[in-house]
Chains A and B, each alone.
Chain A
């Protein structure tokens, strides 16, 4: 899976969970401040990302995922492992 494919998948999930337009979801955007995703929406994004990309994103990792790019990189590394 390429970074762009992961980003597009995340954008779809974020749109469905939090109603953020997919074209606003870019690697440099922070979940909390830029995209206005609160802790519970973040949990749902993580649950759906795990299912969609077949990776495990443990609770203690979630707080390190500040930007969309952080999540893309974590998923890419997890999917490759």
Chain B
């Protein structure tokens, strides 16, 4: 027996503390103008001491469950995509599940850095499709400010905290609301994004930029191909929010029609790694740029290097 899948709910959590570019300029030698023109960020959120990967994931998950209107007892699997849990054991997912009142589900963390959410979403869809789970809660949650080198202006201006979640459920009529995933990696380029011995991120920004702008348009075309639709049939493009210039470059090279909404949550949230795609999704929905039934192409990419993406239907 196999089942169709759908995204039944979305949720997010954004820490209340906003760090502006002017605030950043007090920490390192930088300027609002440089950050806006090179990366497109205006503000990012910073989690406080009481806001952890687990609490943020829980808050985003609760909203997704409420949005779907599903009873937590019907959730069989919880997947948390994160790369910023400082103590990797105990992992986040079981703690998130218990906080949400989900009784003893399968609970796993997934680390594929900024690609984590789309990987987790594809595993969730497969689990529902194959009948392993009735509903799967997928969460991307990051407290990147814990692993940021606040003295390195090349990286510290980029990152923010937050969490976003999607509930994956069976579709009533066997239809597919989560398309085939395209995934891949380039481990030979893994030194481009690493962590130092203080567990702070270190990045060769320009090399990553080159890889991303070179490879992502091809990956997007492959996702469209496997899904069996044209770029013109898309309603939204939601890439990992690493740099607005990467997003605009990929959109340009695909010659997308004006009607396609583009996820630009980076402007207000910065780069939140595995959380950036679901955060961009809830923003697009709140602003009314996407509505129920819209087809949205998601593509996560980054550390590893690695990527994964698929087309989903907006709940």
Chain A residues close to B by CB (< 8 Å): 16-17, 38-40, 43-44, 46-47, 59
Interface of A, secondary structure class, is helix
Output the nearest chain B residue to A47 by Cβ-Cβ distance: B214
Do residues B252 and A40 form an inter-chain contact, with CB atoms below 8 A?
Answer: no
Give A43 to B252 CA distance when docked, in angstroms: 15
Output the nearest chain A residue to B209 by Cβ-Cβ distance: A43
Residues of chain A within 8 A of B37, CB atoms compared: 38
Residues of chain B within 8 A of A46, CB atoms compared: 210
Residues of chain B within 8 A of A39, CB atoms compared: 206
Output the nearest chain B residue to A42 by Cβ-Cβ distance: B206
Q: Could you list 18 A-B pairs, sorted by A, with CB under 8 Å? A: A16-B252, A17-B249, A38-B37, A38-B38, A39-B206, A40-B38, A40-B243, A40-B245, A43-B206, A43-B209, A43-B213, A46-B210, A47-B210, A47-B213, A47-B214, A59-B206, A59-B207, A59-B210
Scoring B residues 233 to 256 as 1 if CB is less than 8 Å from chain A, else 0, what string do you get?
000000000010100010010000
B221 vs chain A, min Cβ distance (A): 14
Which residue of A16, A38, A43, A59 has the most chain B CB atoms within 10 A of its CB atom?
A: A43
Give A17 to B214 CA distance when docked, in angstroms: 13
Scoring B residues 72 to 116 as 1 if CB is less than 8 Å from chain A, else 0, what string do you get?
000000000000000000000000000000000000000000000
A72 vs chain B, min Cβ distance (A): 21
A33 vs chain B, min Cβ distance (A): 17
A78 vs chain B, min Cβ distance (A): 17
Within 8 A of A (CB), among B185-211: 206-207, 209-210
A11 vs chain B, min Cβ distance (A): 17
- Known A40-B209, A43-B206; 9 more pairs at CB < 8 Å: A38-B37, A39-B206, A40-B38, A40-B206, A43-B210, A43-B213, A44-B213, A44-B249, A59-B210
B243 vs chain A, min Cβ distance (A): 8
Residues of chain B within 8 A of A38, CB atoms compared: 37-38
Leading 3 A-B pairs by shortest Cβ distance: A47-B214, A43-B210, A43-B209
Scoring B residues 14 to 49 as 1 if CB is less than 8 Å from chain A, else 0, what string do you get?
000000000000000000000001100000000000
